[in-house]
Amino acid sequence: MRFRFGKNWKNYLKSVTENKIDVALNSLSKTIGLSDFTGKTFLDIGSGSGLMSLAALRLGAKVHSFDYDMDSVEATQFVKTTFTNEDKNWHIEQGSILDNDYLNKLGKFNIVYSWGVLHHTGNMWKAIENSINLVEDNGMLFIALYNDQGFFSKFWKAVKYLFNLNFVTRFLIKLLFLPYFYLFQILFDTVYGFKPFKTIFNAQNRGMNFYHDVIDWIGGYPFEVASPGKIFNYFKERGFILINMTTTTSVGCNEFIFQKIS
Protein backbone atom coordinates (compact mmCIF):
# COMPACT_ATOMS: atom_id res chain seq x y z
CA MET A 1 0.00 0.00 0.00
CA ARG A 2 1.51 3.28 -1.11
CA PHE A 3 0.47 6.93 -1.22
CA ARG A 4 0.27 8.32 -4.76
CA PHE A 5 2.79 11.11 -4.37
CA GLY A 6 2.92 11.71 -8.10
CA LYS A 7 -0.81 12.33 -8.35
CA ASN A 8 -0.52 14.96 -5.62
CA TRP A 9 2.44 16.57 -7.42
CA LYS A 10 0.58 16.68 -10.74
CA ASN A 11 -2.31 18.46 -9.07
CA TYR A 12 0.09 20.92 -7.42
CA LEU A 13 1.86 21.77 -10.68
CA LYS A 14 -1.28 23.46 -11.97
CA SER A 15 -0.41 26.35 -9.63
CA VAL A 16 3.35 26.59 -10.27
CA THR A 17 4.68 30.06 -11.10
CA GLU A 18 8.11 31.56 -11.66
CA ASN A 19 7.85 32.95 -8.13
CA LYS A 20 7.54 29.44 -6.68
CA ILE A 21 10.45 28.29 -8.83
CA ASP A 22 12.54 31.15 -7.44
CA VAL A 23 11.64 30.07 -3.91
CA ALA A 24 12.79 26.53 -4.72
CA LEU A 25 16.01 27.80 -6.33
CA ASN A 26 16.89 30.03 -3.38
CA SER A 27 16.08 27.23 -0.94
CA LEU A 28 18.34 24.76 -2.75
CA SER A 29 21.20 27.23 -3.07
CA LYS A 30 21.00 28.17 0.61
CA THR A 31 20.69 24.55 1.73
CA ILE A 32 23.66 23.26 -0.26
CA GLY A 33 25.69 26.39 0.43
CA LEU A 34 26.50 27.09 -3.22
CA SER A 35 25.18 29.87 -5.44
CA ASP A 36 26.62 28.30 -8.60
CA PHE A 37 26.40 24.61 -9.54
CA THR A 38 28.31 25.02 -12.81
CA GLY A 39 30.47 21.97 -13.49
CA LYS A 40 28.57 19.88 -10.92
CA THR A 41 26.53 16.76 -11.53
CA PHE A 42 23.27 16.64 -9.55
CA LEU A 43 21.20 13.53 -8.82
CA ASP A 44 17.61 14.03 -7.65
CA ILE A 45 16.42 10.81 -5.98
CA GLY A 46 12.63 10.85 -5.95
CA SER A 47 12.19 13.97 -8.05
CA GLY A 48 8.49 14.42 -7.20
CA SER A 49 7.36 17.66 -8.85
CA GLY A 50 10.73 18.23 -10.50
CA LEU A 51 11.06 21.73 -9.03
CA MET A 52 14.33 21.03 -7.22
CA SER A 53 15.80 19.43 -10.33
CA LEU A 54 14.82 22.54 -12.26
CA ALA A 55 16.42 24.69 -9.56
CA ALA A 56 19.68 22.71 -9.82
CA LEU A 57 19.61 23.05 -13.60
CA ARG A 58 19.13 26.82 -13.41
CA LEU A 59 22.03 27.00 -10.95
CA GLY A 60 24.21 25.41 -13.64
CA ALA A 61 24.29 21.69 -12.83
CA LYS A 62 23.98 18.72 -15.14
CA VAL A 63 20.92 16.99 -13.70
CA HIS A 64 19.65 13.41 -13.55
CA SER A 65 16.20 12.88 -12.01
CA PHE A 66 14.41 9.65 -11.26
CA ASP A 67 11.36 8.54 -9.32
CA TYR A 68 9.67 5.23 -8.61
CA ASP A 69 6.21 6.76 -9.14
CA MET A 70 5.47 7.14 -12.85
CA ASP A 71 3.12 10.06 -12.12
CA SER A 72 6.07 11.85 -10.51
CA VAL A 73 8.22 11.11 -13.55
CA GLU A 74 5.53 12.66 -15.74
CA ALA A 75 5.25 15.64 -13.38
CA THR A 76 9.01 16.20 -13.60
CA GLN A 77 8.88 15.91 -17.39
CA PHE A 78 6.04 18.46 -17.44
CA VAL A 79 8.21 20.94 -15.53
CA LYS A 80 11.10 20.37 -17.92
CA THR A 81 8.88 20.83 -20.98
CA THR A 82 7.12 23.89 -19.57
CA PHE A 83 10.00 25.79 -17.98
CA THR A 84 13.03 24.84 -20.10
CA ASN A 85 13.75 24.50 -23.78
CA GLU A 86 14.03 20.70 -23.37
CA ASP A 87 17.51 21.26 -21.92
CA LYS A 88 19.87 18.37 -22.78
CA ASN A 89 21.62 18.75 -19.43
CA TRP A 90 18.53 17.35 -17.67
CA HIS A 91 17.76 13.64 -17.96
CA ILE A 92 14.55 12.19 -16.44
CA GLU A 93 13.53 8.55 -16.06
CA GLN A 94 11.64 6.05 -13.94
CA GLY A 95 13.73 4.12 -11.44
CA SER A 96 13.92 2.91 -7.86
CA ILE A 97 16.55 3.65 -5.22
CA LEU A 98 16.07 0.03 -4.12
CA ASP A 99 16.92 -1.38 -7.58
CA ASN A 100 20.66 -2.15 -7.58
CA ASP A 101 20.72 -3.07 -11.27
CA TYR A 102 19.30 0.34 -12.17
CA LEU A 103 21.60 2.22 -9.81
CA ASN A 104 24.73 0.52 -11.13
CA LYS A 105 24.11 2.20 -14.49
CA LEU A 106 24.00 5.72 -13.07
CA GLY A 107 27.58 6.27 -11.97
CA LYS A 108 28.45 8.78 -9.26
CA PHE A 109 27.50 12.43 -8.72
CA ASN A 110 28.95 15.55 -7.10
CA ILE A 111 25.65 16.34 -5.37
CA VAL A 112 23.10 13.70 -4.43
CA TYR A 113 19.79 15.15 -3.24
CA SER A 114 16.79 13.41 -1.69
CA TRP A 115 14.29 15.43 0.33
CA GLY A 116 11.69 13.41 2.20
CA VAL A 117 11.89 10.35 -0.05
CA LEU A 118 13.97 7.55 1.43
CA HIS A 119 11.65 7.04 4.42
CA HIS A 120 8.77 6.34 2.00
CA THR A 121 10.43 3.46 0.14
CA GLY A 122 9.46 0.68 2.53
CA ASN A 123 13.16 -0.07 3.19
CA MET A 124 14.71 3.17 4.43
CA TRP A 125 18.11 1.85 5.49
CA LYS A 126 18.74 0.09 2.21
CA ALA A 127 17.67 3.26 0.41
CA ILE A 128 20.14 5.30 2.48
CA GLU A 129 22.94 2.83 1.81
CA ASN A 130 22.24 2.86 -1.92
CA SER A 131 22.22 6.67 -1.92
CA ILE A 132 25.66 6.69 -0.28
CA ASN A 133 27.05 4.58 -3.11
CA LEU A 134 26.02 7.23 -5.66
CA VAL A 135 28.16 10.01 -4.14
CA GLU A 136 31.44 10.93 -5.81
CA ASP A 137 34.59 11.21 -3.66
CA ASN A 138 34.46 14.60 -1.88
CA GLY A 139 30.88 14.94 -3.11
CA MET A 140 27.88 15.93 -1.00
CA LEU A 141 24.74 14.07 0.00
CA PHE A 142 21.70 16.02 1.14
CA ILE A 143 18.87 14.03 2.71
CA ALA A 144 15.80 14.89 4.76
CA LEU A 145 14.32 12.13 6.90
CA TYR A 146 11.40 12.01 9.32
CA ASN A 147 12.35 12.59 12.93
CA ASP A 148 11.75 9.74 15.39
CA GLN A 149 9.24 11.00 17.95
CA GLY A 150 8.33 7.69 19.52
CA PHE A 151 4.59 7.51 20.23
CA PHE A 152 3.75 10.44 17.95
CA SER A 153 5.53 8.78 15.03
CA LYS A 154 3.52 5.61 15.64
CA PHE A 155 0.33 7.69 15.76
CA TRP A 156 1.05 9.37 12.42
CA LYS A 157 1.99 6.06 10.85
CA ALA A 158 -1.49 4.79 11.76
CA VAL A 159 -3.09 7.95 10.31
CA LYS A 160 -1.17 7.55 7.06
CA TYR A 161 -2.12 3.89 6.84
CA LEU A 162 -5.81 4.74 7.25
CA PHE A 163 -5.54 7.53 4.66
CA ASN A 164 -4.41 4.99 2.06
CA LEU A 165 -6.73 2.15 3.11
CA ASN A 166 -9.76 3.17 1.02
CA PHE A 167 -11.68 6.22 -0.19
CA VAL A 168 -13.91 6.30 2.93
CA THR A 169 -11.03 6.47 5.42
CA ARG A 170 -9.24 8.94 3.13
CA PHE A 171 -12.26 11.25 3.21
CA LEU A 172 -12.55 10.97 7.00
CA ILE A 173 -8.85 11.67 7.56
CA LYS A 174 -9.05 14.77 5.36
CA LEU A 175 -12.21 15.91 7.16
CA LEU A 176 -10.48 15.57 10.53
CA PHE A 177 -6.96 16.81 9.86
CA LEU A 178 -7.19 19.48 7.15
CA PRO A 179 -9.07 21.92 9.46
CA TYR A 180 -6.60 21.11 12.24
CA PHE A 181 -3.54 22.02 10.15
CA TYR A 182 -5.14 25.15 8.72
CA LEU A 183 -6.31 26.46 12.10
CA PHE A 184 -2.97 25.63 13.72
CA GLN A 185 -1.05 27.52 11.03
CA ILE A 186 -3.32 30.57 11.24
CA LEU A 187 -2.88 30.68 15.03
CA PHE A 188 0.88 30.18 14.69
CA ASP A 189 1.25 33.03 12.21
CA THR A 190 -0.87 35.31 14.40
CA VAL A 191 0.94 34.52 17.67
CA TYR A 192 4.39 34.97 16.14
CA GLY A 193 3.57 38.30 14.54
CA PHE A 194 3.09 37.18 10.95
CA LYS A 195 0.10 38.16 8.88
CA PRO A 196 -2.72 35.62 9.33
CA PHE A 197 -2.94 33.33 6.28
CA LYS A 198 0.60 34.38 5.24
CA THR A 199 1.88 30.79 5.20
CA ILE A 200 -1.27 29.36 3.68
CA PHE A 201 -1.36 31.69 0.67
CA ASN A 202 2.36 32.00 -0.05
CA ALA A 203 4.89 29.57 -1.52
CA GLN A 204 6.47 27.31 1.06
CA ASN A 205 10.12 26.41 1.36
CA ARG A 206 11.18 24.42 -1.73
CA GLY A 207 8.33 26.03 -3.71
CA MET A 208 5.53 23.85 -2.31
CA ASN A 209 2.12 25.24 -1.36
CA PHE A 210 0.37 24.67 1.95
CA TYR A 211 -2.51 22.42 0.87
CA HIS A 212 -0.43 19.94 -1.11
CA ASP A 213 2.20 19.92 1.63
CA VAL A 214 -0.45 18.88 4.17
CA ILE A 215 -1.83 16.16 1.87
CA ASP A 216 1.72 14.90 1.30
CA TRP A 217 2.19 14.71 5.08
CA ILE A 218 -1.05 13.00 6.13
CA GLY A 219 -0.93 10.58 3.17
CA GLY A 220 2.79 9.76 2.99
CA TYR A 221 3.01 5.98 3.35
CA PRO A 222 5.15 3.80 3.75
CA PHE A 223 6.55 5.74 6.68
CA GLU A 224 9.81 5.22 8.61
CA VAL A 225 11.72 7.45 11.03
CA ALA A 226 15.19 7.89 12.52
CA SER A 227 16.77 10.04 15.22
CA PRO A 228 19.50 12.57 14.28
CA GLY A 229 22.05 10.69 16.35
CA LYS A 230 21.37 7.42 14.59
CA ILE A 231 21.76 9.02 11.17
CA PHE A 232 24.94 10.84 12.19
CA ASN A 233 26.60 7.66 13.49
CA TYR A 234 25.53 5.69 10.42
CA PHE A 235 27.28 8.12 8.08
CA LYS A 236 30.32 8.57 10.30
CA GLU A 237 30.96 4.82 10.16
CA ARG A 238 30.92 5.01 6.36
CA GLY A 239 33.47 7.77 5.90
CA PHE A 240 31.23 10.82 5.71
CA ILE A 241 31.54 14.05 7.67
CA LEU A 242 28.59 16.20 8.68
CA ILE A 243 28.65 19.60 6.95
CA ASN A 244 25.35 20.93 8.23
CA MET A 245 22.26 19.70 10.04
CA THR A 246 18.85 21.20 10.74
CA THR A 247 16.77 19.31 13.27
CA THR A 248 13.16 19.54 14.32
CA THR A 249 11.45 18.93 17.64
CA SER A 250 8.33 17.76 15.79
CA VAL A 251 7.52 14.76 13.61
CA GLY A 252 8.72 16.63 10.54
CA CYS A 253 12.03 16.11 8.73
CA ASN A 254 15.59 16.49 9.97
CA GLU A 255 17.89 17.74 7.21
CA PHE A 256 21.49 16.59 6.79
CA ILE A 257 24.34 17.50 4.48
CA PHE A 258 27.21 15.02 4.48
CA GLN A 259 30.45 15.07 2.53
CA LYS A 260 32.17 11.90 1.38
CA ILE A 261 35.84 11.88 2.31
CA SER A 262 38.08 10.24 -0.29
pLDDT digits (tens, 9 = 90+) for 67-106: 999 999 999 999 999 999 889 999 999 999 999 999 999 9
Contact present, 28 and 111 (Cβ < 8 Å) = no
Q: Whole-prediction pTM value? A: 0.91
Q: How many CB atoms lie within 10 A of CB 205?
A: 13
- pLDDT one-digit tens code per residue, 193-218: 777 677 777 655 665 678 888 999 99
Report d(CA 251, CA 256) in Å as an integer: 16
pLDDT, residue 68, reads 97
What are the structural domains of the chain? 5-148+223-260 (3.40.50.150), 167-219 (no CATH)
Nearest to 45 by CA among 80, 11, 76: 76
- pLDDT one-digit tens code per residue, 21-56: 998 999 999 989 999 999 999 999 999 999 999 999
**DSSP H or E run through 257:** strand 253-260
